[in-house]
A and B are shown apart, each in its own frame.
Chain A
Amino acid sequence: MAEVVVGKDKCGEQRIVSLPLSRIRVIMKSSPEVSSINQEALVLTAKATELFVQYLATYSYRHGSGKEKKVLTYSDLANTAEESETFQFLTDILPKKILASKYLKMLKEEKGEEDEENDNDNERDHDEAES
């Protein structure tokens, strides 16, 4: 007999889906051009989302470096989004992170280049002003 993933809610009853359908519906309705949603479609979308969560978690863990410490980290997820074609639609919301210090350094370097040019111009003006 086919088995389905079931979870138990607070009442201890079996459910086919754990995620709240009302919330899923809100997200679905926020999509433009969607007029109405059949109840079965709602249930299937919720179920698919659960499967997706599990898949993303296990995939990221297996391919990530966090498994050395037995922890699933954000960078595991960001790597997955970047490297796996299947999860590429997530790259915008799971960007790779750089240290703030590195970013500030990058900004400084860019600004430094601009400043050099400005300084050269200023010196010329200054000299001209003085003489």
Chain B
Amino acid sequence: MAERPEDLNLPNAVITRIIKEAVSSSGGAKEGAGGKQVLDRQLCLPPVSSQLPDGVNISKEARSAISRAASVFVLYATSCANNFAMKGKRKTLNASDVLSAMEEMEFQRFVTPLKEALEAYRREQKGKKEASEQKKKDKDKKTDSEEQDKSRDEDNDEDEERLEEEEQNEEEEVDN
């Protein structure tokens, strides 16, 4: 797949927003630009170091340099994580590979917030899955009624089994 050079860059607007979010004082809900609320951004880092003080500007040059640095970081992290995957004789990079890579790269400070983000992501995925399962059940319920009762019960059992299996699989991944 041929990639143009700009494809390897991250969008400037998002990069700026992330830097600015490090600018505001820590803790508490705050009104960001455009009236959007930005929620508590506790990073579980030592209180002093995580935030730029209010009112700090970032030069354009600095911003694009940080963006380039972020792309390089992704490459470095990926290559490092891939080493761990290969050690485990796996071809697919997984979450624990990324976490190990962070430690290897001496960014241990990221590990705890990353683990929390991972849990939040897994909860979110589970919620989505259950929501769509529920929608499906409701739909079946609406379309056919009487004889569906019997087969629906069977479906529920199958779905529950599948959910459990997938949960087990996720746990196995973490153990890896």
Interface residues of A (CB under 8 A from B): 2-8, 12, 14, 16-20, 23-24, 26-31, 33-38, 40-41, 43-45, 47-62, 67, 70-74, 76-78, 85-86, 89-90, 93-94
Closest to B15 in A: A53
List residues of chain A with CB within 8 A of the CB of B11: 19-20, 23
Cross-chain contact B77 with A48 (CB below 8 angstroms): yes
Cross-chain contact A48 with B18 (CB below 8 angstroms): no
List residues of chain B with CB within 8 A of the CB of A89: 72, 76
Within 8 A of A (CB), among B72-113: 72-79, 81-82, 86, 91-95, 97-99, 102, 106-107, 109-110, 113
Interface size (B, Cβ < 8 Å)?
Answer: 77
Cross-chain contact B118 with A36 (CB below 8 angstroms): no
Cross-chain contact B19 with A77 (CB below 8 angstroms): no
Stretch from B39-47, B129-137, B138-146 forming part of the interface with A: B39-47
12 sampled A-B residue pairs with Cβ under 8 A: A2-B119, A16-B121, A23-B10, A35-B92, A38-B92, A43-B117, A49-B74, A51-B110, A53-B18, A54-B22, A57-B19, A59-B49
Given A51-B110, A54-B22, A73-B59 in contact, is the A4-B117 Cβ separation under 8 Å? yes
List residues of chain A with CB within 8 A of the CB of B99: 44
Mostly, the B contact residues are helix
Q: How far is the CA of A86 from the CA of B75 in the complex (A)?
A: 16
Given A54-B22, A70-B57 in contact, is the A40-B76 Cβ separation under 8 Å? no
The yes or no answer to B163 lying at the interface (CB within 8 A) is no
Closest to A41 in B: B93
List residues of chain A with CB within 8 A of the CB of B52: 57-58, 61, 72
The yes or no answer to B17 lying at the interface (CB within 8 A) is yes
Q: How far is the CA of A37 from the CA of B173 in the complex (A)?
A: 13
Most central of B1, B42, B56, B99 by chain A CB within 10 Å? B56
Q: How far is the CA of A23 from the CA of B42 in the complex (A)?
A: 26
Could you tell me the distance in whole angstroms from the C-beta of A119 to the nearest C-beta in chain B?
A: 41
Cross-chain contact A41 with B94 (CB below 8 angstroms): yes
Closest to A67 in B: B56
Cross-chain contact B17 with A18 (CB below 8 angstroms): yes
Cross-chain contact A41 with B70 (CB below 8 angstroms): no
Q: How far is the CA of A32 from the CA of B9 in the complex (A)?
A: 18
Given A45-B77, A93-B72 in contact, is the A55-B56 Cβ separation under 8 Å? no
Cross-chain contact B79 with A26 (CB below 8 angstroms): no
Cross-chain contact B56 with A71 (CB below 8 angstroms): yes
Q: How far is the CA of A116 from the CA of B110 in the complex (A)?
A: 57
